[in-house]
Structure 1
């Protein structure tokens, strides 16, 4: 039976490269000289932590990071920006979580979308991905087109297409 998997799968190596190039730019820019502006990537936790001296400066550091992510072809919609926290003195930090794997709410939304469309395909949640099965390849491609059109808040990828 033909099927495909719907995933939310960022390229963590590209995220790491973007963080490294952001740190290089922060180190050379005049407006960041003598400040605690920094970006740190924790690959296991899938978190990017941005440090700065003020709210204004943390916005600038985040803009540098997002620019580098875009150059590395990492979709910004993978980034879940947290709130700015004070960490002592005048220093602030912000945790940006890298979304990986489809959350249960989004998985339920995807399956509901497919069932409400009355297409001849079945969607089932399997861990952090959604498997879509159908009898015809055209039905699966129509389901892909529907998901691309309707779910635009996260960058979905379609993998493991089997005929």
Structure 2
């Protein structure tokens, strides 16, 4: 029997599901009446979704469709970082949506501070873009998971490698 138990806190995004969500959003935009004869486009390049359309109303509608499709595909909206709306040529507008993978150092520090502030008998350490939590009691690790699920850190958290 192991003397120490551990799990990792990560923020991962399934890129295949993001690609599926973008494709489904484009299909819906192609079928909707309010987008008829508009030049609306959603393009996924690496970790950035580029949205371009004719006006801000259509841009807002396209982002809502994208969010809905992501939620339906199991991709958290917290993983999408919407950039500012930019004016493009011929009166069109565009927006870049960055897909956030991993936990930033600032968020990781907030998570570790929250764990330490809870006085649960576990250790938390930052490892690149994830946080590892170790402890002698499985119940303490479960308590940490429940604590973190009840808080909002602005990123989608998953708990993996529970041993």
Once the 2 structures are TM-superposed, how far is the Cα of residue 33 of structure 1 from its aligned partner? 2.2
User: Which sections of structure 2, spanning at least 5 residues, go unmatched?
Assistant: none
User: Which sections of structure 1, spanning at least 5 residues, go unmatched?
Assistant: none
Contact 2:43 2:50 in 1 (8 A): yes
Once the 2 structures are TM-superposed, how far is the Cα of residue 152 of structure 1 from its aligned partner? 5.0
Structure holding more strand per residue: 1
Once the 2 structures are TM-superposed, how far is the Cα of residue 34 of structure 1 from its aligned partner? 2.0
**1:18 equivalenced with 2:37 (yes/no):** no
**1:54 equivalenced with 2:55 (yes/no):** yes
Aligned to 2:108: 107
Contact 2:107 2:153 in 1 (8 A): no
Aligned to 2:145: 144
Once the 2 structures are TM-superposed, how far is the Cα of residue 79 of structure 1 from its aligned partner? 1.0
With normalisation by structure 2, the TM-score equals 0.94
Once the 2 structures are TM-superposed, how far is the Cα of residue 95 of structure 1 from its aligned partner? 0.7
Contact 2:6 2:133 in 1 (8 A): yes
- Structure 2: how far apart are the matches of 1:94 and 1:141? 40
Q: 1:32 aligns with which of 30, 35, 43?
A: 35
Once the 2 structures are TM-superposed, how far is the Cα of residue 153 of structure 1 from its aligned partner? 2.7
Q: Residue by residue, what CA displacement relative to the aligned partner does 1:101-135 show, whole Å, maximum 9, x if unpaired?
A: 00011000011111111111000000000000001
RMSD: 1.1
Once the 2 structures are TM-superposed, how far is the Cα of residue 151 of structure 1 from its aligned partner? 2.9
- Structure 2: how far apart are the matches of 1:47 and 1:135? 41
Once the 2 structures are TM-superposed, how far is the Cα of residue 5 of structure 1 from its aligned partner? 0.2
Moved over 3 A (4+): none
May I ask how many residue pairs the two structures share in their alignment?
A: 160
